[in-house]
Amino acid sequence: MHHVMFDVDGTLVKSYDFDEACYLESIAEVLGHELDTDWSSYPHITDTGILNQHLKRIGFMDRQGEIQKKVKGVFVDKISQHVAASPVREVPGATAFIARLKTMDNVSLSIATGGWLETAKLKLDSAGIDYAGIPIASSNDHYARTEIMKIAKAKANVASDHKLTYFGDAAWDKKACSELGFNFVLVGNRVANHQAVSDLTAVDQALGFIGL
């Protein structure tokens, strides 16, 4: 049996640029100052992890829950407005690839995103990607990407002997897979990886990387 897990931004939907812009704007609106965008300085590059680290740096951890709720609310509104004005495009082949995998008896699926669940669903819905029946773990569940991925695995009831492949697009996806021992397939060209597809129209190549 094979389990296939997907990231969202940059992997299933073309949302990386506007998603980051909306996130930064949301934090600036709530806190009144800009966030440091040197992502390498953050131990957990997720919506919750970045905000938590920033609040720790400025001494606002005592207001963590309150501020996170406010930032998320503003962020959800911004993403909602953006996708209403400019519908999100899928990464080419994403819908068809997921549909193909769903037909396979020896494959189970999940989604593990470092974004918050509310905005992930807005983007997937806008792009027309059918995620019905696919367990999703997000920054709502944990601040650490590796933990989010473990939660997605648990939600999908993946047995210990199943082969697990993760499709992602960023260095932090690759790092998390290395830490967890997941088979990593890069979508796009943002980082170097020996297993990579330009997009999800490369079905035969992607299936080969999964081991199918």
pLDDT 10s per residue in the chain (212 long)?
A: 999 999 999 999 999 889 999 999 999 999 999 999 999 999 999 999 999 999 999 999 999 999 999 999 999 999 999 999 999 999 999 999 999 999 999 999 999 999 999 999 999 999 999 999 999 999 999 999 999 999 999 999 999 889 999 999 999 999 999 999 999 999 999 999 999 999 999 999 999 999 99
Shared-domain flag, residues 126 and 189: yes
pLDDT recorded at residue 14: 95
- Report DSSP letters for the chain, one per residue: -EEEEE-SBTTTBS-HHHHHHHHHHHHHHHHSSPPP--GGG-S--SHHHHHHHHHHHHT-GGGHHHHHHHHHHHHHHHHHHHHHHSPPPBPTTHHHHHHHHHT-TTEEEEEE-SS-HHHHHHHHHHHT---TT--EE-TTT-SSHHHHHHHHHHHTT--TTSEEEEEE-SHHHHHHHHHHT-EEEEESSSS--SSEESSTT-HHHHHHHHT-
pTM of the model: 0.96
Query: Do residues 95 and 43 share a domain?
Result: no
- Residues 201 and 121 both lie in one domain: yes
Residues 46 and 143 in one domain: no
Tally of domains within the chain: 2
Looking at the fold, whether 30 and 105 belong to one and the same domain comes out as no
Q: Tell me, yes or no, whether 7 and 33 share the same domain.
A: no
Residues of the domain holding 191: 2-14+88-210
Structure confidence at residue 160 (pLDDT): 87
Same domain, 157 and 186: yes
